[in-house]
A and B are shown apart, each in its own frame.
Chain A
Amino acid sequence: MLFPTITFAVFFLLVFIGNWLLMPRPRLWKPFILLASCVFYGWWEWRFVLLLALSAVANQLFAKAIERAATAAARKWLLAAAVAVNLGVLGWFKYYGFFVTSVVNFLGAFRLQADLPLLRIVLPVGISFLTFRVLSYVIDVYRGKLRTSSLLDFAVYVAFFPYIMAGPIARAGEFLPQLSGPRDPRRVDTSRAFFLIFAGLAKKMLLADYLATHIVNGVFTTPGQYTSLETLLGIVGYAVQIYCDFSAYADIAIGISLLLGFELPDNFNAPYTAISVQDFWRRWHMTLSRWLRDYLYIPLGGNRKGRTRTSVNIMITMVLGGLWHGAGWPFIFWGFLHGGAQVVEHRRVDIRKLRAQRGTDAFATSGGGPAAARAAGAPPGPPEIDTRPWGGGVWPRIGVFAFVTCAWVFFRSATFAAALSVFAQLFRGWGSVGASVTPVLLLVIAVGIGIQYVPRSLYERVEAGFSVLNPLVQGGLLAVGFMALDVLGPAGPASFLYFRF
């Protein structure tokens, strides 16, 4: 079931009423919301509801066993088994074909024949998100940060329909406590919810889908048909499209959850305003970034084991992050690029720190000190170190945006050859502008980037203004807004990009 459809509107209306009617009775509410989530997920493919059920039961058993295990070694083995089972299921559905073709082609390069079975495996929507959700539960129970919940609570957490397809990756520790008692029907953040839902639909229908159909799909599949300027706009257009598409889903998911009384973590914070690649990952798909940080990067040792090991850990984290997005070498290379950029940024800051340290040492050995500093008119103590790899201002933002946008080319392309042909087209046809370059296209790209530079306070003022309106007026404004989206948007709903991940 897709969000921007009348089917979902009817479904949500019924779920909303049932949600608040049953909320005072958790023993009824929980089965209700679980059933609604299964209907939502099963609308696409009912057989995969079974996968949800198996995942919930298996991970609950693992978590309970870990909690009850007598020894640390037993707990560790149980955790390893839980991780292996979850990643095994993910690997089967998502990476089997990639693995087998890679092995067959690798052996084929040495004239070795391998007859591994190649199967058609249908990828369940949102399985990557599901895997990370359930792993957060099991790992947090292992770490003692979370106590196991009831199977019903855990099943609601696993299947909660607003985020089931494409996140945000709400952690068990964030969501399960909200199930401990009924949500307060007198305190619903309706204004923010409506704003997020409408803004999400607008980003998806007016910006992302427009860019996809008018320039991006063409440039990435038939680059030879486009001029260099069109290609450039297609590449930038994809950066805008993927942001508008993915953040739209997250906005709608958060908005719908708010209307049901639940808070989900933010997933985006103006990522194209980032001043470094590290900063980009603090703003882009934030729930994935912190998942990778807390459940992969830090367990690997983080930055606690020296510079070289830190670099290796960053690379492992980002490459696996790339692989999480899709089974293909271009995804891995995309992760490699982002990892490499962050390693460079870390080294840059390290060198700066080292120089500052040397300066401080020289300062101390030369008889300097607070008194000398005061005498020289400088503040006492060692000079402050700028931990921003490229500083602030406009140029780092442009540089990071350019880097991220170029890296997206590999993310979007099916093969390296396809990515390189897109880049090559940038240098082949500057003789003309191209028919695809229209004022509307430029406007859409400008809006897609510009909305990230609008101060959050402005959005919050709009939300505050909307919140004091009579609900009849709120409903009327929303209806007119939806009509405008229907008129301006493309015919028929398009699937969200991140469903495939």
Chain B
Amino acid sequence: MNDRDPDKLPFGRRRRTAASALVAILVAFVLGVLLNAPAMKKTAMELPFGGQRSFRLALVSPAAAVSHWMFLDRPAEFAAAALGRPDPGPQPVEVVVVDTQPTPRATASGTPRPAPADKPLPKPYPGHPMHLYIAGDSMAGIPGMALVNLAKGTRLIKPLLDYRISTGLVRPDFFNWPAQLQRQAKAFDPGAAVVMWGANDNQGVQTSSGKVFQFGSDGWKKEYRKRVSDAIAILFANGVRRIYWVGQPIMPDSTYDRQIRLLNDIYRSEAKKRPGVRYIDAYGVFSGGGGGHAQYLRDDKGKMQQVREGDGEHLTYAGGMRLAEVVMAAIRADWLSETKPGAGSASPSPKASAKATPAP
């Protein structure tokens, strides 16, 4: 409790009535809504397709219209533009044209490079590291960080971690991964990519024609397969030679776990279709002795570790390192060892392959 005399506030500060406070709050609220209406509309549009989204949009859209009509959306737009920040309102989704053929970048001798997965992989050496691009959602964050630490330790791999919280492949209007993959692949010129999405993809998807399919429907599966396939094609088309597609780990909630298994099934089967794509089965890595969800697991030395955060979903650093070691083993086998295994879509870790994701 502060020791001020309640009747004497410093520098003549005045107490006001609750009604006066209500007026100020109402003005701040109404004017604040109008000034921020485009951002609020954008937030509402980014919600999963369904009743809540429709309800929020029904509330916010008229405010956004009034705001625009009264020119009250302009200050935020001008401020954002002046500060180099993205426009606060909804923006059209950049469409990435997916080229299924790899970019025929010429070699020094002028001859076009062959398809990425067909040619032997160049071995990195000191001064010429292999560029490793790591992309995904929040689930990819911690294992991505652990992988960066492992990769840096080789001194032959230069990693770039690019994870975006709450993103996935179903909502390019929230975060446009195809465009991001293309930008990053062009800028970073990766030899390999590790990708991990899906934790936020258990929601409806909207096709380019505007039709919305709810999660798990046949239309959804078809569209999602296409998006997985497009992501692979974009990376290959921009010079990536190997893709390590990391599936989702087992989840504590049975409904969510079923959804995850459906997603993993799609990743695995799409990876199988393409040489150069390896599917890393994270599901098995985090299954306990009985094949169920495990919050704690023993490491190689028998030490008990907490591998999942309190939500039971995200990985702790120990869990992330566990997964990163499996991914790193696959990368080492492809890029750093003398005897290169076949470029199939098998799980490289006996630990992982022993307990593959069960069918959804």
Residues of chain A whose beta carbon lies under 8 Å from any beta carbon of chain B = 6, 9, 13, 16-17, 20, 97, 100-101, 104-105, 108, 118-123, 174, 185-194, 221-222, 224-225, 259, 261, 263, 265-266, 414-415, 418, 457, 460-461, 463-464, 467-468, 471-472, 474-476, 478-480, 482-484, 486-488, 492, 500
Contacts and interface: CB of A to CB of B under 8 A. Distances in A.
Contacts of A475: 23-29, 31
Interface in B1-57: 1-2, 9-33, 35-36, 39-40, 43
Contacts of B142: 221
A122 B296 contact: no
A441 B123 CA distance: 38
B317 A414 contact: yes
Given A185-B18, A224-B153, A479-B32, 20 more contacts: A16-B21, A194-B24, A224-B148, A225-B148, A414-B318, A460-B11, A464-B9, A472-B24, A474-B24, A474-B27, A474-B28, A475-B23, A475-B31, A478-B24, A479-B27, A479-B29, A483-B35, A483-B75, A487-B76, A488-B85
Given A482-B32, A487-B80, A471 B24 contact: yes
Nearest to A5: B43
A442 B207 CA distance: 44
B21 A190 contact: yes
A487 B83 contact: yes
Given A120-B293, A475-B24, A463 B152 contact: no
Interface residues of B, number: 65
A222 B29 CA distance: 41
B310 interface: yes
B198 interface: no
21 contacts: A9-B32, A97-B296, A100-B304, A122-B312, A185-B19, A187-B15, A190-B16, A222-B149, A224-B149, A224-B153, A414-B316, A463-B10, A471-B23, A475-B29, A478-B32, A480-B35, A482-B28, A484-B79, A487-B83, A488-B83, A492-B43
Interface of B: 1-2, 9-33, 35-36, 39-40, 43, 75-76, 79-80, 83, 85, 88, 142, 145, 148-149, 152-153, 159, 161, 165-166, 252, 293, 295-296, 302-306, 308, 310-312, 316-318
A261 B6 CA distance: 12
A214 to B, nearest CB: 14
A61 to B, nearest CB: 28
A105 B299 CA distance: 11
Contact of B14 (A13, A185, A259, A468): A468
A188 B304 contact: no
A478 B75 contact: no
Contacts of B75: 480, 483
The majority secondary structure among interface residues of chain A is helix
A152 B252 CA distance: 37
A500 B30 CA distance: 33
B242 to A, nearest CB: 22
A230 to B, nearest CB: 14
Nearest to B150: A224
A222 B162 CA distance: 13
A482 B36 contact: yes
A186 B7 CA distance: 12
Contacts of A480: 31, 35, 75
Contacts of A120: 252, 293, 295, 308, 310, 312
A221 B32 CA distance: 37
Given A120-B312, A457-B10, A174 B1 contact: yes
Contacts of A187: 15, 17
Nearest to B78: A487
A418 B24 contact: no
Contact of B24 (A122, A190, A266, A415): A190
Contacts of B296: 97, 101, 118
B317 A415 contact: yes
- 9 shortest interchain CB distances as A-B pairs: A475-B27, A479-B31, A464-B11, A478-B28, A185-B18, A464-B13, A471-B23, A221-B145, A120-B295
A483 B25 contact: no
B145 A222 contact: yes
A118 B295 contact: yes
Contacts of B40: 6
Contacts of B21: 16, 188, 190, 193, 259, 471
Which of B83, B165, B317: most chain A Cβ within 10 A?
B317
A278 to B, nearest CB: 20
A407 B28 CA distance: 41
A108 B302 contact: yes
A480 B29 CA distance: 11
Given A471-B20, A475-B25, A475-B28, A189 B35 contact: no
A9 B43 CA distance: 15
Nearest to A418: B317
Nearest to B308: A120
A472 B35 contact: no
Contact of A461 (B1, B11, B20): B11
Contacts of B25: 13, 16, 259, 475
A191 B32 contact: no
A258 to B, nearest CB: 9
A123 B312 CA distance: 11
A418 B191 CA distance: 29
A121 B295 CA distance: 9
A226 to B, nearest CB: 11
A460 B4 CA distance: 12
Contacts of B9: 189, 192, 464, 467
Given A97-B295, A460-B11, A471 B152 contact: no
A243 B76 CA distance: 29
Contact of B28 (A265, A468, A479): A479
Contacts of A174: 1
A476 B25 CA distance: 9
B321 to A, nearest CB: 10
